[in-house]
Amino acid sequence: MTCPKTDSFLFQYFTGDSATRAKLLKEPHLLTCSDCSEKLSELLANESYLSSWEDVSVPSWNSKKIFDNGNSGVPNFWFQWIPTAACLVMLCVFAFNLQITDYGTGLNISFGKKNLEMESFIRDVRRVQELQLVEFNAALAEVELIQTQNNARLLQTVLEQTQLYSAQNFDRVVRLFDAQRIQDLEDMRQEYQQLVDSDYKTLRSLQQLASFVSVSNGIIQ
C-alpha cells in the first residue's frame, strides 16, 4: 500500500530551504508513515551521493593575462573616434574650403575665403616683382643707351665703308636701325613678363601646397 501524501511531502521537503526541511522532519505523519520515511531516506541518499563529488583544485593558469590582454586589446573610447574625426575634418577642408593656419600664437580657422597670410604673401610677391621691373627697366635703359652708341658707331662705319653721304639715304638707314632697336626691346620686355608670370604661378601653387600640408599636420598632431 502506497501513501497518497508521499509525493507532495517529498516535493515540499526537497524544494524547501533548510528551515522548511527541519520543520517537515518533525511532522507527526512522517513518524508514523513508513512509506514516506522510506522514500525520504532514499532521495536523501541520492542528494548526498551527488554531494560526494570531491572538489578538484584548479590547475595553475594566468588570470592576469585576461586582465592585461583585455586592457590593451579594448581600444580607448576616444581613440576609436580618431579615424571618423579625421574624415570629418577632411570633408570640412574640401567641402567648405576651410583653412587652418598656425601663426605661432594660435590657430586661425577660416571658411570659404582666402587666408589673410596668403593674401599678404601675394602682395609681397607683387611688390618684389614691381621692384624687379623697375630695376629691369633701368638696366634696359642702360642697354638701350649702349645699343644706341653701338648703333651710331656701326652706322658711322657703314656710312664710311659705303660712302653714302646723301641726307636722304642717311635718314632711311637711321630709321631702319631705330625700328629694329625698338622691336628688340619690346621682345625682351615680353619674354621677361612671361618669365615673371610663370614664376608667380609656381609660387602660388607652392604656397597652396604648403598651406594644405600645414593643415594636415595640424590634424595629425
Q: Which does 52 bind (CB under 5 to 8 A by kind): other proteins, Zn ion, none?
A: other proteins
Q: Does 40 bind Zn ion (CB under 5 A)?
A: no
Q: Does 3 bind Zn ion (CB under 5 A)?
A: yes
Asked if 104 and 114 touch (Cβ cutoff 8 Å), the reply is: no
Across-strand partners of 107? 102
Q: Does 22 bind other proteins (CB under 8 A)?
A: no
- Judged by CB under 8 A, the chain residues 57 through 116 that form the site for other proteins are 57-59, 61, 63-64, 66-68, 70-71
Instruction: Dump strand ranges (E) for the chain.
Output: 99-102, 107-110
Q: What are phi and psi of 61, to 5 degrees?
A: -150, 165
Cα–Cα distances in Å, from 24 out to 4, 10, 186, 204?
17, 10, 125, 98
Q: Which does 3 bind (CB under 5 to 8 A by kind): Zn ion, other proteins, none?
A: Zn ion
Cα–Cα distances in Å, from 203 out to 68, 191, 200, 217?
53, 19, 5, 21
Q: Does 54 bind other proteins (CB under 8 A)?
A: yes
Q: Which does 132 bind (CB under 5 to 8 A by kind): other proteins, Zn ion, none?
A: none
Q: Does 36 bind Zn ion (CB under 5 A)?
A: yes
Q: Does 33 bind Zn ion (CB under 5 A)?
A: yes
Q: Does 17 bind other proteins (CB under 8 A)?
A: yes
In the complex, the residues that contact Zn ion under the rule CB under 5 A are: 3, 5, 33, 35-36
